[in-house]
Structure 1
Amino acid sequence: MDLFFKYLQYEKRYSPHTLTSYHTDLGQFAEYLKEVYQLTDPAEADHAIIRSWILSLVQKHLEARSINRKIACLRSYYKFLLAQQRISVNPMLRIRPPKASKKLPGFVLEEPFNNLLDSFTFEDNFEGHRDKLILEFLYGTGMRLSELLGIEHPDIDLHARTVRVLGKGNKERIIPINDSLYFSLETYLAAKKTLNADNNSQKLLVTTKARPLYPKFVYRVVKKYIGMITTSEHSSPHVLRHSFATHLLNKGADLNAIKDLLGHASLAATQVYTHNSIDKLKSIFEKAHPKA
């Protein structure tokens, strides 16, 4: 298993989040084999045993998306064992994943959120400027939380008004910085200079003790401010990424351009946002079509 995870990390370049999930999935599978079949080596599991584990997950009412991720983990694992000649037959060949219902990404409404950014009085101190910058970055660029936390000072080009981010699979992309984000960034950088100058961290976003921010911190910030404009349960950093894409599409942006901005590997991943825009299309149709 150690060799497998090193292979995923260094050769396949899987994200830390995916590696953590696969560690959990493979660990749960190993526990099941030991408890139910008294097997200590997953390489000894056959098609029937693997299928029984998947059925047990279905009976526990686990979401299809979660089950499919575990199946993807096992596919990668047994494909690796086959390449390493640890097994002669891949037991995953006839395993079929359950069909997952399409879950549309949640998003915040354009007008209330922009009113929050433009009209709300954030505290005139380092914390206030940092909180606003977090919101501006997530909504203004559509980047992922991990990408936001990974930004370092050399990644920012104020002259060109761009930011360089490292996405999934260590793929680098350049995202333009809009005017609102640019001014928030300038204000934040000025406030950051008042912090502990002895800290050598190159990370852009830091705490008041000049230490790099962490995921839960950003979650709390986003939840705090989104809670001011909606009672919806959609209040995670990823919701602002969804909002970025949905609002761009509503304004007529090209789907391929949105794909590149989001850092999606294929257009299929971006097309989910077209479903969120159907209400906008209906509204245009009702106003414009003579038979509407």
Structure 2
Amino acid sequence: MSITSFVQHLSKEKNYSAHTVNAYQKDIGSFADFCKHEFGIDGLEQVQYPIIRNWIVKLVDEGLTNRSVNRKIASLKAYYRFLQKTGILVASPLAKHKALKTNKKIEIPFSEGEMQNMFSQIPFENDLEGTRDRLMIELLYTTGIRRAELVNLQLTDIDTEQQIIKVFGKRSKERIIPLLKSTVIFLNEYLARRNALEVIHDSNALFLTKAGHKIYENLVYRIINKYLSLVSPKLKKSPHVLRHTFATHLLNNGADLNSVKELLGHSSLASTQVYTHNSITELKKVHLSAHPRNKKQ
């Protein structure tokens, strides 16, 4: 019963997305199955840390990365915090747990040249899918929105006259992002194709398949990977790397960190500072080439 209450808490009180809630539920359910099959324990309220440690060992033996294990433990920590908050538990069995060490994950953004080649050299088809794919890439690169935010865009979220887009981010937090003129042009071209579809099943959704259904996240990933493979040799080619590229290119060209934070929908500067790595690299180049002290050496 407590797991059901926790899921409702995440969905209704925390306002987490369905995808996030499902991930928490899956992690906790997996641990509950482990406790029942390995130790005969039905209620997670009875669990002590040694059992959790056994689960961690099992996950590692199964080949999960430390990062994935840490994510599962984070779900479990949130669950036990909920049990403490509701008075079911006094102390969490994970109170003294330390996360497994992980290698720092550095994503390499696409260069400005690669993105220019995307729009100048790729022959997008002049049909629904071609105009849709080009617009999706344009939006991800020029607004920095997340893949889930792109998928959930509604027609009413777009204002071509004001050249703005309304996005609902994590925890349904709303933000307004300006659109470039090029984006509006691509948007109008796509809308003409979209509105000409004979059958539309999801009438409010901005992005549709040729069958008239709302697009889904895996489709977006495949599309982005397909086109970026034509202009870049980088291993990671995903919607999130385009978001990283958006932030990096803005910072490289003098944008204020706080402004980029607002555009990305981050709750704190700490999240945005992840994207400053490449900007610092660019600043170093400028510093070395322009500082008079360096020129004398």
Shift of residue 122, structure 1, vs aligned partner: 1.5
Question: Could you tell me which amino acid in structure 1 is paired with residue 66 of structure 2?
Answer: A
Unpaired segments ≥5 residues, structure 2:
none
Question: Could you tell me which amino acid in structure 2 is paired with residue 43 of structure 1?
Answer: E
Say whether the 8 Å CA contact 1:51–1:95 is kept in structure 2: no
Q: Give 1:177's aligned residue.
A: 179
Question: Could you tell me which amino acid in structure 2 is paired with residue 278 of structure 1?
Answer: I
1:268 counterpart = 2:270: yes
Say whether the 8 Å CA contact 2:70–2:100 is kept in structure 1: yes
Q: Give 1:53's aligned residue.
A: 55
The whole-number CA distance in structure 2 between the counterparts of 1:31 and 1:197 is: 44
CA shift in 2, pair 1:198/1:60, >3 Å: closer
CA shift in 2, pair 1:212/1:67, >3 Å: same
Q: Give 1:104's aligned residue.
A: 106
| Corresponding residue SS for 2:83 | helix
Unpaired segments ≥5 residues, structure 1:
none
RMSD: 1.8
Say whether the 8 Å CA contact 1:151–1:165 is kept in structure 2: yes
Say whether the 8 Å CA contact 1:246–1:276 is kept in structure 2: yes
The structure 2 residue matched to 1:162, chosen from 161, 164, 184, is: 164
The whole-number CA distance in structure 2 between the counterparts of 1:47 and 1:198 is: 52
Q: Give 1:145's aligned residue.
A: 147
- TM-score normalized by structure 2? 0.92
Number of aligned residue pairs: give it: 292
Say whether the 8 Å CA contact 1:47–1:94 is kept in structure 2: no
Shift of residue 265, structure 1, vs aligned partner: 0.9
Shift of residue 221, structure 1, vs aligned partner: 1.1
Shift of residue 200, structure 1, vs aligned partner: 5.4
The whole-number CA distance in structure 2 between the counterparts of 1:17 and 1:197 is: 28
Say whether the 8 Å CA contact 2:140–2:242 is kept in structure 1: yes
Question: Could you tell me which amino acid in structure 1 is paired with residue 247 of structure 2?
Answer: A
1:256 counterpart = 2:246: no
| Corresponding residue SS for 1:95 | coil
The whole-number CA distance in structure 2 between the counterparts of 1:69 and 1:120 is: 38
Question: Could you tell me which amino acid in structure 2 is paired with residue 83 of structure 1?
Answer: K
The whole-number CA distance in structure 2 between the counterparts of 1:189 and 1:31 is: 48
Say whether the 8 Å CA contact 2:200–2:212 is kept in structure 1: no
The whole-number CA distance in structure 2 between the counterparts of 1:121 and 1:50 is: 53
CA shift in 2, pair 1:215/1:285, >3 Å: same
Q: Give 1:209's aligned residue.
A: 211
Q: Give 1:12's aligned residue.
A: 14
Instruction: Provide Cα deviations, 1:4-59, integer angstroms capped at 9, x if missing partner.
Output: 11111111111222222212211221122123322122111012222332344345
Q: Give 1:123's aligned residue.
A: 125
Say whether the 8 Å CA contact 2:199–2:211 is kept in structure 1: no
The whole-number CA distance in structure 2 between the counterparts of 1:150 and 1:120 is: 26
The whole-number CA distance in structure 2 between the counterparts of 1:76 and 1:6 is: 13
- TM-score normalized by structure 1? 0.93
Q: More deviation in 196-205 or 262-271?
A: 196-205
Say whether the 8 Å CA contact 1:107–1:234 is kept in structure 2: no
| Corresponding residue SS for 1:283 | helix
- Please show how residues 212-231 of structure 1 align to structure 2 within 5 Å: 212-231=214-233
Shift of residue 92, structure 1, vs aligned partner: 1.9
Shift of residue 61, structure 1, vs aligned partner: 5.3
Say whether the 8 Å CA contact 1:104–1:276 is kept in structure 2: no
Say whether the 8 Å CA contact 2:167–2:176 is kept in structure 1: yes
Identity %: 42
| Corresponding residue SS for 2:233 | coil
Q: Give 2:80's aligned residue.
A: 78
Shift of residue 111, structure 1, vs aligned partner: 1.0
